[in-house]
Structure 1
Amino acid sequence: MIRSAILCTTLMLTACAAMAQDWALDGMDPVSYTQDGAAVPGRTDLVTMWRGEAWHFATEQNRNQFEANPKAYAPGLGGLCVVALSEGRSEPGNPRFFAVIGQRTYLLRSEQARERLLADPQGVLMRAKAVWAKLHP
């Protein structure tokens, strides 16, 4: 009896972990970056599917805004770390470290990378976009 309960719990945890892997931005609300200037966790019951991933939202209003124009809220440069790209490397950004420049959200790998981007946003973005263009012709 205990053995089957442990097996059942293990299977449930494995299934939950697999589902979480398909969560865009590790479950952060993409609209909150520009609306609140913060990485806000989305709710598990406010979800929409876009490009094969589950996007989570803190409010119904945020979900509606995203659904009306998802490209406006998806991170620029595929969610890769902008500073790493500017240095010629393709590294995923961390959804907890971000910067909004203009109307676009960019992800970064760390707070140090965020500080580097903010010190020279135009230069870093220009170099990152050049590398991105080579990777995605």
Structure 2
Amino acid sequence: MMIRALLTSLLLLLPVSPALAQNWALDGMDPVSYGTDNAAVPGRSDLVTLWRGKAWHFASEQNRNLFEANPGAYAPGLGGLCVVALSEGRSEPGNPRYFVVIGQRTYFLRSERARARLLADPQQVLMRAKAFWARMNP
């Protein structure tokens, strides 16, 4: 029993392989914390659930339970792409560390500068981004 606990502890300290990390949703950030804490909070390696082929990490058991009850509500809007880039007619990945919560949805941006642009006119930027997104995903 003691050996098993020791081995488990050692496994948690090992670096994550690049192959596994590629399947991490949101670079390991907790998707629930964006709305509840208004922060990009790193998830724990021992609180994970699989959804849509990705490993989603959580900061607490409560957050994992909330996500598992309704994962679509916590997934980032517009596929996690940068809202400002989409509004300009480009598809660029958003960075899970730069985000804005509008309504009940979390949107990602590529940089702090893009975040400031979105916040300057959220309704207009989001409207243009959604229109471009709809053309990309008929």
Give the TM-score of the pair, scaled to structure 2: 0.88
Equivalent pairs counted in the alignment come to 125
* CA displacement, residues 33-73 of structure 1 (integer Å, 9 cap, x when unaligned): 00000000000000000000000000000000000000110
Unaligned segments of structure 2, at least 5 residues: 1-13
Give the CA RMSD over aligned residues: 1.1
Q: Which residue of 1 aligns with 2:107?
A: 106
Counterpart Cα distance in 2 of 1:72 and 1:119: 25
Identity %: 79
In the alignment, structure 1 residue 60 sits paired with structure 2 residue 64: no
Q: Which residue of 1 aligns with 2:128?
A: 127
Task: Give the Å deviation of 1:17.
Answer: 1.1
Counterpart Cα distance in 1 of 2:120 and 2:102: 12
Task: Give the Å deviation of 1:104.
Answer: 0.3
Counterpart Cα distance in 1 of 2:51 and 2:122: 29
Task: Give the Å deviation of 1:120.
Answer: 0.5
In the alignment, structure 1 residue 87 sits paired with structure 2 residue 84: no
**Structure 2 counterpart SS, 1:98:** strand
**Structure 2 counterpart SS, 1:30:** coil
Q: Which residue of 2 aligns with 1:78?
A: 79
Letter in 1 for 2:71: P
In the alignment, structure 1 residue 24 sits paired with structure 2 residue 25: yes
Letter in 2 for 1:46: L
Counterpart Cα distance in 1 of 2:45 and 2:116: 31
Letter in 1 for 2:68: E
Counterpart Cα distance in 2 of 1:110 and 1:134: 24
Letter in 2 for 1:90: S
**Structure 2 counterpart SS, 1:41:** coil
Letter in 1 for 2:70: N
Letter in 1 for 2:58: F
Counterpart Cα distance in 2 of 1:102 and 1:124: 15
Unaligned segments of structure 1, at least 5 residues: 1-11
- Moved beyond 6 Å, runs of 4+: none
